[in-house]
Copies of this chain bind each other. A is one copy, B any other.
């Protein structure tokens, strides 16, 4: 902070946000992507995002862009837990000009068809299974990989997993979130005890139960609790790199 402060002393930087929004659908981790309509990378998939406006923080911009570019319900976007991932600032990450991008991650429940409704930008938003994502515009493949690694790690020591679930969920659904993100099987009795033994992770919905697979015993329903961290952590099994 020693240099002078002439706003026009340097070639201007653009500051953008990029969002890696995940959901769990049909036993696979999905990410929300946008089909680009213009060069560069026209026709390629990209993470939703856009410019930070002069009077916005990056967090505010992220929320606004998410509402504008995707068809996610306003209410969901407003309440969403956005987490800063990191900032990407390599000089040539955008071929046109200097763009520094603040990346965020968010987790949402499996919505009916969240991206298909709204017009305009939202029409080009789709959920894609992360395993099927091949090429992405700019350095978005790197951002996606970093985001995926981060949420996998975060499930170990935070209560974020409930963010993937609907407002009321069964322990089986919660477990399948872990299994999907980690791509690993967990022992059901032990998972159950672990979750219930952590105060504030989930709260029982009194008397409520729901059938899940169509068959079997109806499962008790739970709501997210007030806790945010998991002590002691719920460690994933050995090799879950992929």
A residues near B (Cβ < 8 Å) are 1-3, 5, 7-8, 10-16, 18, 34, 36-38, 46, 49-59, 69, 84, 86-87, 89-91, 96-98, 100, 102, 121, 137-138, 231-233, 235
Q: Is the CB of A2 within 8 A of B121?
A: yes
The 9 A-B pairs with the shortest beta carbon distances in the complex, nearest first, are A12-B12, A58-B89, A87-B87, A13-B15, A11-B54, A57-B89, A7-B97, A87-B102, A5-B96
Q: Is the CB of B13 within 8 A of A1?
A: no
Q: Is the CB of B97 within 8 A of A13?
A: no
A7 in complex: contacting residue of B12, B52, B91, B102, CB < 8 Å: B12
Q: Is the CB of B87 within 8 A of A10?
A: no
Measured between beta carbons, the chain B residues less than 8 angstroms from A1 are: 16, 18, 34, 36, 46, 49-50, 137-138
Residue pairs across A and B with Cβ atoms less than 8 A apart, 30 shown, are A1-B16, A1-B36, A1-B46, A1-B49, A1-B138, A2-B37, A2-B38, A2-B50, A2-B121, A3-B51, A5-B97, A7-B11, A7-B97, A7-B98, A8-B12, A10-B14, A10-B54, A11-B54, A12-B12, A13-B15, A52-B89, A52-B100, A54-B91, A56-B91, A58-B89, A59-B89, A86-B87, A87-B102, A89-B102, A100-B100
Measured between beta carbons, the chain B residues less than 8 angstroms from A3 are: 50-51
Shortest distance in angstroms between A31's beta carbon and chain B's nearest beta carbon? 16
Q: Is the CB of A58 within 8 A of B37?
A: no
Measured between beta carbons, the chain B residues less than 8 angstroms from A38 are: 2
Measured between beta carbons, the chain B residues less than 8 angstroms from A231 are: 235
Q: Is the CB of B100 within 8 A of A15?
A: yes
Shortest distance in angstroms between A157's beta carbon and chain B's nearest beta carbon? 8
Q: Is the CB of A52 within 8 A of B13?
A: yes
Shortest distance in angstroms between A88's beta carbon and chain B's nearest beta carbon? 9
Q: Is the CB of B13 within 8 A of A57?
A: no
Shortest distance in angstroms between A76's beta carbon and chain B's nearest beta carbon? 21
Measured between beta carbons, the chain B residues less than 8 angstroms from A49 are: 1
Measured between beta carbons, the chain B residues less than 8 angstroms from A90 are: 57
